[in-house]
Amino acid sequence: MDLQDIKQRFGIIGNSQFLNRAMEIAIQVAPTDLSVLISGESGAGKEVFPQIIHQFSARKHGKYIAVNCGAIPEGTIDSELFGHEKGAFTGALADRKGYFDVANGGTIFLDEVGELPLSTQVRLLRVLEAGEFIKVGSSKVQKTDVRVVAATNVDLPNAIKQNKFREDLYYRLNTVPIRIESLRNRKEDISLLFRKFAQDFAEKYRMPPIRLDHDAKEILINYRWPGNIRQLKNITEQISVIEQNRNITSETLLNYLPAASAGEQLPALYHSPDEQPSFSSEREILYKVLFDMKKDMGDLKKLVLDMLHSDDFSDNMQEENINIIRKLYPDEAGNYSTEEVNQPAAPSPAPVYNAAPVEDNIQDTEEYVEESLSLADKEIELIRKALEKHNGKRKYAAKDLGISERTLYRKIKEYDIN
């Protein structure tokens, strides 16, 4: 069976290379029992691919159960997935089979798997690794033979960094990844989908189908479609029902599209006043170290200059410090002399030498630093401080540093930190 026949069978519209590639992967992996993780934005059409995988597998005569993990309350999701014993909790009036029990020998589709609570993720991991689960309120281990296909619109690697998703479960689910591209990256499919939806709604409401003029087609194709196929379908239905003129112009179409365009939907970073900034990567930690060093060097320079003008300094000490300043900042201190240093400091504005004013010098200290500064040493210092702060607890130290616990462990090993 070729791709066009499969598209017709499952009602798939589109010819983009991204869509065709995703379908090819689904068909190739279907005969195996490998776990599949389908990712993509909400409304992009992820829900049809588990059905393709199930129908082209040896389990096609078994049960196919689709579960929306985000729609089930946290307190009952374990019971829904794994079942419960009578009396396990208030309201458990009888034994109940869970989806993993009912779908034995078939396929279970876990939509929005990123919304699962961490406790449920542990149970799911055991099913994937050993094919075992325990009902809520029971101590008896039960076996199940279920093919798991999961889907999510959440950035799971980022959720792992935030300790909202288990890393071992992610790699267990992500045995075969399938990426469903958003509609804005499949521009050649937009017109096809619009015509299909327009024809469907014309038959449903018994009226002629709507049609777009040239300008309206251009707007339709170049719109961002943040809601993807679901949004396109809804807008097509609105126009089909409301507009009496079946020829749709660009002005009419714009009335149904949200005003926000790609340029007006730029992301913004926000931190509440009480929120401490977190560093999500090693690069950001290095940037912080560099900024701290810049500030330290500026403070050091100001301190040395203040000491030079102190009455407590002897001529020898002043001469020695002048030599230090000349070495550190030759362009600024090259013309300093003991006589100039011995002059009393003016009460209001700072004394002016042949070099630039002191305030300007402090602002530009990074241009005059010639010594070598080791980032590795700074990393070691930060890691040790974090470990000491949290009494050697790596989990909290890693969180304080803004890196994963695995990265912290690797750094400790790399730098041989006791």
Q: What are the tens digits of pLDDT across the range 137-189?
A: 999 999 999 999 999 999 999 999 999 999 999 999 999 999 999 999 999 99
Q: Is 105 within 8 Å of 60 (Cβ atoms)?
A: no
Determine the Cα–Cα distance for residues 41 and 412; give it in Å rounded to an integer. 38
What average pLDDT does this structure show over 99-125? 96
Q: Tell me, what's the pLDDT at 265?
A: 44
Architecture of the domain whose range is 184-261:
Orthogonal Bundle (1.10)
Q: Tell me, what's the pLDDT at 368?
A: 44
Residue 205 scores a pLDDT above 90: yes
Q: Element (H or E) spanning 65, and its range?
A: strand 64-68
Residue 355 scores a pLDDT above 60: no
- Determine the residue type at 105: G
CATH superfamily label, 3-181: P-loop containing nucleotide triphosphate hydrolases (3.40.50.300)
What average pLDDT does this structure show over 356-376? 50
Residue 34 scores a pLDDT above 80: yes
Determine the Cα–Cα distance for residues 362 and 346; give it in Å rounded to an integer. 19
Task: Calculate the average pLDDT of the chain.
Answer: 82
Q: Tell me, what's the pLDDT at 308?
A: 61
What are the respective helix, strand and coil percentages of the chain, to the nearest 5? 50, 10, 40
First and final C-alpha spacing in the chain: 62
What average pLDDT does this structure show over 25-52? 96
Q: Tell me, what's the pLDDT at 269?
A: 39
Residue 329 scores a pLDDT above 70: no
Question: Residue ranges per domain, the chain?
Answer: 3-181, 184-261, 282-367, 375-415
Local structure of residue 266 (DSSP, 8 states): -
Grade residue 408 by pLDDT with cuts at 50, 70 and 90: confident
SS3 147: strand
Residue 394 scores a pLDDT above 80: yes
Across 29-43, 85-99, 262-276, 306-320, least confident range: 262-276
Q: At what angle do helices 48-55 and 17-29 cross, to 10 degrees?
A: 40
Grade residue 335 by pLDDT with cuts at 50, 70 and 90: low
Determine the Cα–Cα distance for residues 15 and 295; give it in Å rounded to an integer. 57
Residue 316 scores a pLDDT above 70: no
Angle at 295 between CA 293 and CA 299, to 5 degrees: 115
Q: What are the tens digits of pLDDT across the range 238-273?
A: 999 999 999 999 999 999 998 644 334 434 434 444
State the pTM of this model: 0.61
Please state which CATH number belongs to domain 375-415.
Answer: 1.10.10
Please tell me which of 87-96, 238-247, 320-329 the model is most confident about, judged by mean pLDDT: 238-247
Q: Which residue has the higher pLDDT, 15 or 277?
A: 15
381-416 core/surface letters (b: 16 or more CB in 10 A; e: else):
ebbeebbeeeeeebeebbbbbbbbeebbeebbeeee
What average pLDDT does this structure show over 28-49? 95
Q: Tell me, what's the pLDDT at 35?
A: 96
Determine the Cα–Cα distance for residues 417 and 289; give it in Å rounded to an integer. 19
Q: Tell me, what's the pLDDT at 264?
A: 41
Q: Which residue has the higher pLDDT, 374 or 323?
A: 374
Q: Tell me, what's the pLDDT at 188?
A: 94
What average pLDDT does this structure show over 363-377? 55
Distances (CA, A) of 369 to 4, 279, 323, 328: 66, 26, 16, 7
